[in-house]
Amino acid sequence: MKKFILIIAMAATLAAASGCLSDIRDEGTTVGKIVERFEGEPVVPRSANRLHIVPPVNASGNDMLAPILFDRLREAISMDGRLGVETDSSRADLRLETRITRYQIQRMKYDEIGRAVVKRMWITADARCTDIRRDRMLFHEADIQSFREYSEFIAPIESEARVMEYVLSDLAKRIALKTVTGWYTERMTDIERRKPLR
């Protein structure tokens, strides 16, 4: 019985192989189309080289955030090297738009006299990337987030301004990764992997 099953399996494998070979010989065949569909394209089309970054829209209530995020986005895209940053939108292949949606400082721990000795800064943004040449939206990702817990009383002491720089820089790197690769999970913290922030 086992021998019979083995023979059937071998025959099926040979039939599939011969079918694939005949398909491979012919351009535009079923297998070729399936492979092409499976591999697909990355988020950034292979033909795209220049990205226009629109200054972020700020809906957070903190006017300091947008200029910093704009600078960090340009730095992050440039450092990645896949795309060149283009200031003239008419010469760009892609357009990246961002909207800062939340700026929040949460009190996490208190001392014996009621001071908030540990806080968490949390910033979120929506990002949208458009293929200008094809007039097609590549992605729209809502609530890309970055956060950091810090203290102005317990070592290592960090100022609010310094933490803001860190969080915005991390947020920019996440948006850049999303734009170029489609994912930014490598920058996610253990807390994020376990459950979303609330």
Domains of the chain: 2-39 (no CATH), 50-194 (3.30.160.150)
Q: Could you tell me which of 183, 144, 198 has the C-alpha nearest to residue 167?
A: 144
Residue 189 phi, psi dihedral angles, 5° rounding: -85, 170
Q: How far apart are CA 141 and CA 97, in angstroms?
A: 11
Q: Tens of pLDDT along the chain (198 residues)?
A: 444 444 444 444 444 444 444 443 344 444 433 333 333 456 788 899 999 999 999 999 999 999 999 999 999 999 999 999 999 999 999 999 999 999 999 999 999 999 999 999 999 999 999 999 999 999 999 999 999 999 999 999 999 999 999 999 999 999 999 999 887 877 887 666 765 555
Q: Could you tell me which of 41, 45, 60, 191 has the C-alpha nearest to residue 130?
A: 45
Q: What is the pTM of this model?
A: 0.75
Q: How far apart are CA 105 and CA 164, in angstroms?
A: 10
Helices H / strands E in the chain, number of each: 5, 6
Pair 133, 93: CB distance under 8 Å: yes
